[in-house]
Amino acid sequence: MMASQVASHVASQVVNNKTCAQCEISFKGKSPKCFNCSICNFWFCLECSHVSNKVYDVLKSEPNVKNLPFNCDGCTRVLPKITELAKALHLQQLKIESCEKKYEDLKNTLQSVVEEQVEKAITEYREREERKLNIIIHNVPEPRAESTDKKGDDEISLKEILLTTKCVGLKNFDFVRLGRPSDGRDRLIKVTLGSVSDKHRVLGGTRYLRAKIGQVYAHRWSKIFITPDQTKEERIKNMNLKRELEKRKLEEKNHDLIIFRWEIVERRPDSLVNSTMATPGISEPGRPFRL
């Protein structure tokens, strides 16, 4: 037996087990000579501990070795395996802790991503709601600089445009020029209509702006185009869709492709698609709709 195995837990402590765990010999007296294994916690007689009476007495009287741990034969045999297992267990524990941390981080990231997306969706929804009655009119010439009633001049132009789109009798509409006046540029006009159906009527009527008599536009408003008041997200989506449309027209050599309700579809003859809703309510100058 090695010195470290030999020592301590000598029998000055109270012996709970009445017998040696190996040979089952009964211990005698209040302080029998035996060792307590620091791993299995069983008690062992001197013979089974491989310690002579003489050595035991020395150990007992020597304070330096008195508290060194003792391990029985059985535990000494399995100790390397136990140590190995303890190491493996410790490594597993570290891995689990690392996974738990990663999971926790991921959960937090995911939560903030979801919260951000929800927030974004709510903001987008609100913005669309705020714009749902609006249309944007492009290329309406600015009133003359010397005019004393610019708002009144714009109102006359708007009424004429709406008349041309065959939208007469629209009530409760309001309008404003967007941005500050700048030289040479006709600012956009945002018109807020009284209802969503009024908006669709106007958007649907934009094709009349480019009606032709022979090869000539029938109205002075042929350069006007009217779009829904889109959010930034909708504008980006629309722009991407237009790029995709041009690409597909070239690739598929098909000029009958159009954008209809946020999708690229083939133009059908004499359909509603042709006449009113080609792009989502957008008409473009120089691209007259077929009447």
- The window from 12-20, 121-129, 131-139, 271-279 that contacts Zn ion (CB under 5 A) reads 12-20
Does 45 interact with Zn ion (rule: CB under 5 A)? yes
Rounded alpha-carbon distances, angstroms, from residue 96 to 90, 92, 93, 101, 107: 10, 6, 5, 9, 16
Among 23, 78, 239, 272, binds Zn ion (CB under 5 A): 23
**Chain-centroid distance, C-alpha 4:** 60
Fill in the amino acid letter for 86: A
Q: Which is nearer to Zn ion, 68 or 257 (CB)?
A: 68
Closest CA to 50 of 34, 61, 66: 34
Q: Which is nearer to Zn ion, 37 or 162 (CB)?
A: 37
Q: Which is nearer to Zn ion, 27 or 217 (CB)?
A: 27
Does 135 interact with Zn ion (rule: CB under 5 A)? no
Phi, psi dihedral angles at 191 (to 5 degrees): -110, 130
Does 72 interact with Zn ion (rule: CB under 5 A)? yes
Q: Which is nearer to Zn ion, 73 or 153 (CB)?
A: 73
Angstrom distance (rounded) from CA 211 to CA 52: 120
Residue with tokens 């579809």: 265
Beta bridge partners of 228: 135
* Total number of residues that touch Zn ion (CB under 5 A): 10
- The window from 32-40, 62-70, 130-138, 210-218 that contacts Zn ion (CB under 5 A) reads 32-40
Q: How far is the CB of 78 from Zn ion (least distance, A)?
A: 9
Among 1, 15, 40, 163, binds Zn ion (CB under 5 A): 40
Q: How far is the CB of 65 from Zn ion (least distance, A)?
A: 19
Q: How far is the CB of 10 from Zn ion (least distance, A)?
A: 15
Angstrom distance (rounded) from CA 71 to CA 3: 10
Among 11, 34, 37, 203, binds Zn ion (CB under 5 A): 37
- The window from 5-13, 74-82, 211-219, 233-241 that contacts Zn ion (CB under 5 A) reads 74-82
Q: Which is nearer to Zn ion, 45 or 51 (CB)?
A: 45
Query: DSSP class of residue 206?
Result: G
Angstrom distance (rounded) from CA 89 to CA 93: 6
CB 223 within 8 A of CB 179: no
Angstrom distance (rounded) from CA 208 to CA 137: 15
Among 6, 10, 11, 20, binds Zn ion (CB under 5 A): 20
- The window from 75-83, 89-97, 242-250, 276-284 that contacts Zn ion (CB under 5 A) reads 75-83
CB 203 within 8 A of CB 165: no
Does 22 interact with Zn ion (rule: CB under 5 A)? yes
Q: Which is nearer to Zn ion, 40 or 273 (CB)?
A: 40
Q: How far is the CB of 100 from Zn ion (least distance, A)?
A: 34
Strand 174-177 and strand 189-192: the pairing is antiparallel
Angstrom distance (rounded) from CA 196 to CA 241: 24
Among 1, 55, 75, 245, binds Zn ion (CB under 5 A): 75
- Collect all residues with Cβ–Cβ distance below 8 Å to 31 and sequence separation of at least 6: 11, 12, 15
Does 241 interact with Zn ion (rule: CB under 5 A)? no
The residues that touch Zn ion, with contacts defined as CB under 5 A, are 20, 22-23, 37, 39-40, 45, 48, 72, 75
